[in-house]
């Protein structure tokens, strides 16, 4: 089965989100001086970049790094590693990427090597629910609703930023309700089709 069929009709060609250019390693593409190339072979793992949740997270990441210089990033549910790698190329010095799927872990590790960011990105096998208290400047969580709920129960939000995605419109109010008593505000809300990506920012005491 070729990539087009496996990805439900999506042909894996280079595409851009802001100044990030995502390109399969077997394709050739030219980028401008101010653009950042991300080489990505998704294999059979979710996270080729086409899905609205991935696109929303990439847009959110770009926006964060235009305002701030987060050094430590936690990517929960890394999939292909696209968000972890993008974080490193945007300036993160230490990225911890986690996934419960061993195939995703192996795929992400290959993509980390492909982009030569193995000195800054570590990919580990584990459950999202166990990572809530890890210290980071940015938390990325492109997960299903139940996993996000569990994460929010355990996360003290010491991070300056959090990007939550994988949410349908009807699930956003429940997430926001759980954040009412936290020192966090909604900095941005990125919507595409029926999907929502929330960009949260810690508010000062």
| DSSP secondary structure string for all residues of 129-147 | GG-TT---SEEEEE--HHH
Res 46 pLDDT > 70: no
Stronger pLDDT, 204 or 199, i.e. the higher one: 199
| Lookup: tokens for 85 | 């790698």
Q: What is the CATH number of domain 44-202?
A: 3.40.50.150
- Spatial CA neighbour of 97 closest among 70, 79, 116, 114: 79
Tell me the pLDDT tens digit for each residue of 57-72.
999 999 999 999 999 9
DSSP structural state of residue 62: H
Tell me the pLDDT tens digit for each residue of 164-190.
999 999 999 999 998 888 889 999 999
For the chain, the structural domain boundaries read 44-202
In angstroms, the Cα distances linking 110 to 10, 11, 22, 34, 121 are 22, 21, 15, 25, 11
Q: Which of 48-62, 84-98, 147-161 has the lowest mean pLDDT?
A: 147-161
pTM of the predicted model over 0.75: yes
């Amino acid at each position: 089965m070729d990539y087009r069929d496996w990805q439900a009709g999506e042909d894996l060609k280079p595409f851009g989100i802001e100044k990030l250019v995502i390109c399969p390693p077997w394709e050739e593409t030219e980028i401008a001086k101010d653009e950042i190339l991300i080489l990505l072979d998704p294999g059979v793992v979710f996270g080729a970049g086409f899905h609205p949740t991935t696109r929303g997270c990439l847009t959110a990441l770009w926006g964060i790094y235009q305002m701030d210089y987060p050094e430590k990033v936690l990517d929960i549910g890394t999939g292909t590693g696209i968000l972890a790698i993008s974080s490193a190329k945007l300036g993160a010095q230490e990225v911890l990427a986690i996934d419960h799927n061993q195939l995703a872990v192996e795929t992400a590790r290959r993509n980390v090597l492909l982009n030569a960011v193995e000195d800054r990105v570590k990919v580990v096998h584990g459950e999202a629910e166990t990572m809530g208290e890890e210290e980071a400047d940015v938390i990325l969580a492109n997960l299903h609703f139940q996993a996000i709920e569990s994460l929010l129960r355990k996360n003290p939000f010491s991070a300056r930023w959090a990007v939550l995605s994988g949410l349908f419109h009807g699930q956003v109010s429940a997430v926001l309700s759980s954040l009412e008593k936290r020192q966090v505000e909604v900095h941005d809300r990125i919507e595409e089709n029926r999907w929502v990506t929330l960009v949260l920012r810690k508010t000062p005491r």
